[in-house]
Amino acid sequence: MAFWDKWRKQPKEEETAQPEETIETAAEEAAPDQQAEPAEEPLEENAAFEEAQPEEEMPQEEQAAPETEEAPKKKPSLWQRLKKMYMGDIFGSSITEADETFFEELEERMILADMGMVTATEAVEKLRRRMNREDISGQEAVQEALREILAECLTMDNQELNLSTQPSVILVVGVNGVGKTTSIGKLAARIKGEGKRVLLCAGDTFRAAAADQLEIWANRAGCELVRQHEGADPGAVLFDALQAAKARGVDVVICDTAGRLHNKSNLMAELAKLRKIIDRETPDAALEVLLVLDATTGQNGLIQAKQFQETAGCTGIILTKLDGTAKGGIVIAIARELGVPVKFVGLGEGIGDLQPFDAKEYANAII
Ligand SMILES: Nc1nc2c(ncn2[C@@H]2O[C@H](COP(=O)(O)OP(=O)(O)O)[C@@H](O)[C@H]2O)c(=O)[nH]1
Ligand SMILES: [Mg+2]
């Protein structure tokens, strides 16, 4: 059975995961594990990955250095964890711009890869025109042209985090279970690695476990943490964190938030309140509002995203779980629909598994 067929047969439920349910269990289960072996996780991830991908890595090594032992082992890029759009059998060696069946099938596969109808149609049209204009034909050249077109769709302004002030503030929002706390841990480690002083703010006061989980990540990343008791007012925790940051000369404050309150308007009101506190306490700070989206929720994630976008005014997206069953095409649909740049992607659960988004790397990985 072709890979594509297996993919198509996946049950619907898997694609439309319900964050509200999955989340609590996932977060609660995750905490003890992370506590048990914090330092080794990234290494294990890589080791496991290398084992899982022997066919791709081995031949290269053999070719490169058959008789020398010391040839450096090429580390697989995180992008290789992305699922490729399976297209092998439609890219014949003699495709031309007149090949209607090819364009139809390509469009269908892009839609099935979560790219969305509008984007898929547009990308295929662009490809057809480019093939015509530049006289492109044949598998290699057509694939390369398609990669370039997708990368162009995804290239936006303000792709980089703005951390230009001291302190800068990052508010992280999104529904339960999408990977907010985990992404904060990874992001903190990354920013710390650039030599900056980072303070985490446990703004999810809904359950004690949420602050505990953030504390584990703060320890792992070597960052400071401001937390309060369960049920405390998140605004008060944020206020404390901002005061501490100013007093201690912290470079970046990253604030975690709850993903679920009693209802949506409650959650949105709380986010609005947190924003107000930031504006009041650190009026000149560079502020990033990062919306975390779980790639495995597919097109459903987009509906949530629009609501957060309207209330919280997001400056960027962190797209998590692209290493799993997710169809990477969702990245394109999101960037297009929301007009907000994808700034980071999560490609695993380890501390090193967060990557700044790179349109060309991404396009190379999925096509
Ligand atoms: N495979 C994978 N799992 C992730 C990724 N990001 C987060 N997770 C997992 O998703 C679950 C929920 O994450 P958590 O950070 O608690 O979500 P939150 O409720 O939004 O704070 C945890 O089990 C994480 O380990 C990712 O990029 N890839
Ligand atoms: Mg959390």
* Ligand 1 atom 26 nearest Cα: 321
- Locate the ligand 1 atom nearest the alpha carbon of residue 354 and give its number: 27
Pocket of ligand 1 (CB under 6 A): 23, 26-27, 30, 174, 176-182, 259, 292, 320-321, 323-324, 346-349, 353
- Tokens 């990368």 belong to residue: 151
Report pLDDT for 39: 39
Ligand nearest to the CA of 211: 2
Distance of alpha carbon 333 from alpha carbon 153, whole angstroms:
10
Walk along the chain (367 residues) in steps of 10 and give the mean pLDDT of each run: 38 38 37 39 37 38 44 66 65 69 87 85 92 86 90 84 97 93 98 97 93 97 96 96 98 94 78 94 96 84 80 89 78 81 93 92 84
Distance of alpha carbon 351 from alpha carbon 336, whole angstroms:
29
Integer Rg of the chain from CA: 22
* Residue positions counted in the chain: 367
Ligand nearest to the CA of 206: 2
- Order of strands, edge to edge, in the sheet holding 168-173? 224-226, 198-201, 252-255, 168-173, 287-294, 316-320, 342-346, 354-356
pLDDT tens digit string along 301-331? Answer: 777 788 888 878 899 999 999 887 767 677 7
Ligand nearest to the CA of 217: 1
Report pLDDT for 37: 39
**From the CA of 77, how far away is ligand 2's center (Å)?**
27
Judge contact between 174 and 259, C-beta under 8 A.
yes
**From the CA of 154, how far away is ligand 2's center (Å)?**
28
**From the CA of 204, how far away is ligand 2's center (Å)?**
7
Of residues 264, 259, 223, the one with CA closest to residue 241 = 223
Report pLDDT for 48: 37
**From the CA of 225, how far away is ligand 2's center (Å)?**
15
pLDDT tens digit string along 237-267? Answer: 999 999 999 999 999 999 999 987 666 788 8
Of residues 256, 259, 275, the one with CA closest to residue 199 = 256
* Ligand 1 atom 23 nearest Cα: 26
